[in-house]
Structure 1
Amino acid sequence: MNVDIRIERSVEVDAPFKKVAPLLDDLEGTIKRFPKLRKLTKLGNNAYLWEMSVIGSKVANIAHEVSYGAKYSIDAKRGELSWQPIADRGNATIEGRFKLLDEGDKTKLIFNVRGKLRDVPVPLMYRLLAPPFIQGKFTRLVDIFLESTRDAVLTPKKR
């Protein structure tokens, strides 16, 4: 079964844009905060293959190890990191953007993602429930990513 996902989430950081902007300079460090990311393989300049741990519920027999390739573009002036899928890499096509929005003494982190998960094993009796269930699982992962990214910006670095 193929499952479409579409997520838009945001979180506010109690820090000015200038303090948050280095997130765009550390592409791998920012990506690696994403929960359930098991392995990140560099495919080329700003291109990576994501391999994630199982997402879903083994009890309901809706569990999938998502993998996909993405090519990243950074527009530091606009405070934006965007990505496009790399064809024929993995079992999903995912595209999106991570935007830093300057709000004076605060910065809003905005995360948009959409894509398709292919060949998700779903028992027939759960076919109607699977898409919103999987969407919910991914939405929670995005929320955790945004929260941990916010916390990383606010936590002083040890020297």
Structure 2
Amino acid sequence: MNVDIKIERSVEVDAPYEKVLPLLTDLEGTIRRFPKLRKLTKLGPNAYLWEMSTIGSKAANIAHEVSYGAKYNIDAKRGEISWVPVPDRGNATIEGRFKLLDQGQRTKLTFDVRGKLREVPVPLMYRLLAPPFIQGKFTRLVDIFLENTREAVLGGAK
């Protein structure tokens, strides 16, 4: 079964834009804060293959190890990292952007992602429930990523 995902989330950081800006220059460090990322393989300049740990529920037999290739563009003037899928890499196509918005003494981190997960093994009886369930799992991962990133900016360990 193929499952579409679309997530838009944001979080505010109690730090000025200049303190948050290094997130754009440390692309690999920023990516590695994403939860469930098992392996990150460089495919070329600013291009990576993501291999994630199992996402879902083994008890419900809705579990998938997502992998996908992405080519990143860093636009420091706009305060943005955007990415597009690398064709024929993995079992998903994911695109999106991570944007920093200057709010004076605070900075808003915005994360928008959309894509398609292919060949997700879902038992017939769960076909209607699987898309919102999987969307919810990915939304939680994005929330954790934003929190990890906020903590890193503020001097935390993540």
Q: Structure 2 length as normaliser, TM-score?
A: 0.98
Identify the residue that residue 89 of structure 1 maps to in structure 2.
89
Equivalent residue number for residue 19 of structure 1: 19
Query: How far apart in 2 are the matches of 1:59 and 1:13?
Result: 37
Distance 1:120 1:22 in 2: 36
Once the two structures are TM-superposed, the CA of residue 51 in structure 1 deviates from its matched residue by 0.1
Residues paired across the two proteins, number = 157
Letter in 2 for 1:43: L
Whole-angstrom CA distance in 2 between matches of 1:86 and 1:44 = 11
Query: How far apart are residue 30 of structure 1 and its match?
Result: 0.1
Quick one: structure 1 residues 57 and 10, their matched pair in 2 at CA, closer, same or farther if it must change by over 3 Å? Answer: same
Same amino acid, percent of matched pairs: 84
Paired with 2:155 and 2:94, the residues of 1 have a C-alpha distance of 30
Matched, 1:139 2:132: no
Corresponding letter in the other structure for 1:34:
F
Relative to the length of structure 1, the TM-score reads 0.98
Q: Over aligned residue pairs, what C-alpha RMSD do you find?
A: 0.9
Is there any run of 5+ residues in structure 1 with no aligned partner, and where?
Answer: none
Could you list the per-position Cα deviations for residues 46-88 of structure 1 after superposition, in whole angstroms to 9, with x for gaps in the alignment?
Answer: 0000000000000000000000000000000110000000110
Letter in 2 for 1:55: I
Q: 1:137 to 1:156 in 2, by over 3 A?
A: closer
Residue 102 of structure 1 is matched in structure 2 by: 102
**CA shift at 1:156, angstroms?**
6.5
